[in-house]
Structure 1
Amino acid sequence: MFFLLSKLAWFVLQPLVALLLLAACGWGLRRLGLPALGGIALGLSVVGLLLVLFSPLGLLMMNGLEQRFPKPELPERIDGIVVLGGSFDTRVARARGGDELNEAADRVTQAAALALRYPDAKLLFTGGVAAVLEDDIPEVDAAKTFFTSLGIPQERILLEGKARNTAENAVYSKPLANPQPGETWLLVTSAYHMPRAVGCFRSAGFDVLPYPVDFRTPSGPALWRPSSLVLRNAEKVDFALREYLGLFAYWMSGRIDSLFPRPARL
């Protein structure tokens, strides 16, 4: 139920859809003889659209997520690497055949590089089919092909294909990894997604070392300069807002124990 509700809620709350609905509401209010309220709604939709498309709002929102967990110095030994799904465009792959990477490809490319750097470490990929209306190709199938094609032995690869969201990634990965006291397991996912991922793994009792990848924002003065391609600005607002709402929903439902997880104190 949580999975379906989260998908439905996000369809309505994603920025461009929400602004379109607000504009439609404004038009409807004016048609109903409430021009003042309708005008306010239409005005807010226009202002919101300008902020989403032309301002650094998305960069600032996403940077707050990406800065939460800095990339760590790696120890000499790594026992396992957990990489979260989301790197494969399974919808395109289902239609055209083969494996297709999307904008989160760093998750699997960086995980593969780590696996080659630490040849004794297990490599656990977790990601099922998250589609609601269509049956996409399971990500684990694409991941297996991808990792073995790079020369990683199949016996080192662990595949978890039931998880449909981040909480399930953590819950289903722990028994498969079976981490032992004193072992070091890396958690690889997009930097903006790391706070929620770490919170879920902590709640599952799976101690991991966060290794963020797939950074989407610059640093310094460039953080205040939005892209000239306005859809990129909108995309960053979309990703960041979904993540903040995800943190709130996971916290309210008890899937993470803090609203904005932070690095563990040493």
Structure 2
Amino acid sequence: MFFVLSKTIGIALLPTNFLIGIGVLGLLLLLTRFASAGRALVVLTILLLALCGFSPLGNVLLYPLESRFPAWDARRGAPDGIVILGGPIDSDISAARAAPVVRSAADRIIAGAALARKYPNARIVFTGGSPNLISNDAREADYAAMVFDSLGIERSRLIFERRSRNTFENAEFSKAVAAPKPGERWLLVTSAYHMPRAIGLFRKAGFVVEPYPVDWHLGGPADLIAFSALAAEGLALTDLAMREWIGLIGYRLTGKTDDLLPGPSRD
């Protein structure tokens, strides 16, 4: 049920989708006796879209997520295993083109491959199925295998988890296939903005991992006052941040995480 709600109500609540919906409602009201309310909604929609698109709002929402975990400290020694969260590969387009198609967050795969080369004894788990509400048999993990092949990572070191549809299932299924032993050290590779939610879910699943954030969108505090020259970029960042915050709130309310904004462990 949570998965269905996240793919329907969750997507509808993203700022761009929500505001366009309000704007369309306003246009429809212009044809009725509530025309004055319709005009107000249209004007409000334009102003809020401009705010989301050009102001630093998206950066402000994204910054506490991306800055929650520091870069991983390699001085602690070699890890026993590495979990790479899916997301970069569009499985449907990859199936249509019969080749891996990386659309976003490519740093997850690049960093995963680099870590695999640096730590040749570490086991590698790539977790990613299909995030679509209505899906075919195309799974991200299947095409990730092709990418790692091209990067020269031996398949004998790789475990591909292809059933998961969201981060909650990433954590549950990754633990099942990795079967981490007590005392083992595992890294979790995912986008910096996504790391708080991912860490919270892995902790709840009982899979102890060390965060390895990648794929930053912001350079630092100076971006908190940086305006965007392209509305599309600002809207994309605002949607990205709000999607993550909605996910954090939803998982906390349903008891799937223990903290609203999970942070570094106190070990």
**Cα contact 1:90–1:136 (8 A) shared by 2:** no
> Are positions 1:131 and 2:132 aligned together?
yes
Q: Which residue of 1 aligns with 2:195?
A: 194
Q: Which moved more, 1:192-201 or 1:41-50?
A: 41-50
Q: Which residue of 2 aligns with 1:236?
A: 237
What amino acid sits opposite 1:169 in the alignment?
N
Q: How does 1:40-119 map to 2 (within 5 A)?
A: 40-74=40-74, 75-119=76-120
Q: Which residue of 1 aligns with 2:21?
A: 21
Q: How far is the alpha carbon of 1:134 from its aligned partner?
A: 4.0
Give 3-state SS (helix, strand or coil) of 2:211's partner: strand
Gaps of 5+ in 2: none
Q: How far is the alpha carbon of 1:144 from its aligned partner?
A: 1.2
What amino acid sits opposite 2:211 in the alignment?
P
Give 3-state SS (helix, strand or coil) of 1:159's partner: strand
Q: How far is the alpha carbon of 1:71 from its aligned partner?
A: 1.0
**Cα contact 1:94–1:136 (8 A) shared by 2:** no
Give 3-state SS (helix, strand or coil) of 2:69's partner: coil
Q: Which moved more, 1:132-141 or 1:28-37?
A: 28-37
TM-score normalised by structure 1 residue count: 0.94
Q: Which residue of 2 aligns with 1:252?
A: 253
Q: Which residue of 1 aligns with 2:208?
A: 207
Alpha-carbon separation, structure 2, partners of 1:36 and 1:250: 39
Q: How far is the alpha carbon of 1:224 from its aligned partner?
A: 2.0
Q: Which moved more, 1:21-30 or 1:254-263?
A: 21-30
What amino acid sits opposite 2:56 in the alignment?
P
What amino acid sits opposite 1:239 in the alignment?
L
Give 3-state SS (helix, strand or coil) of 1:211's partner: strand
Q: How does 1:144-163 map to 2 (within 5 A)?
A: 144-163=145-164
Alpha-carbon separation, structure 2, partners of 1:83 and 1:118: 14
Q: Which moved more, 1:108-117 or 1:67-76?
A: 67-76
What amino acid sits opposite 2:144 in the alignment?
A
Alpha-carbon separation, structure 2, partners of 1:34 and 1:225: 39
What amino acid sits opposite 2:65 in the alignment?
L
Q: Which residue of 2 aligns with 1:184?
A: 185
Gaps of 5+ in 1: none
Give 3-state SS (helix, strand or coil) of 2:82's partner: strand
What amino acid sits opposite 1:253 in the alignment?
T
Alpha-carbon separation, structure 2, partners of 1:168 and 1:221: 36
Alpha-carbon separation, structure 2, partners of 1:79 and 1:61: 34
Q: How far is the alpha carbon of 1:91 from its aligned partner?
A: 2.8
Alpha-carbon separation, structure 1, partners of 2:84 and 2:254: 24
What amino acid sits opposite 2:167 in the alignment?
T
Alpha-carbon displacement from aligned partner over 1:141-179 (angstroms, at most 9, x marks no partner): 111121122222211101111110000000011121111
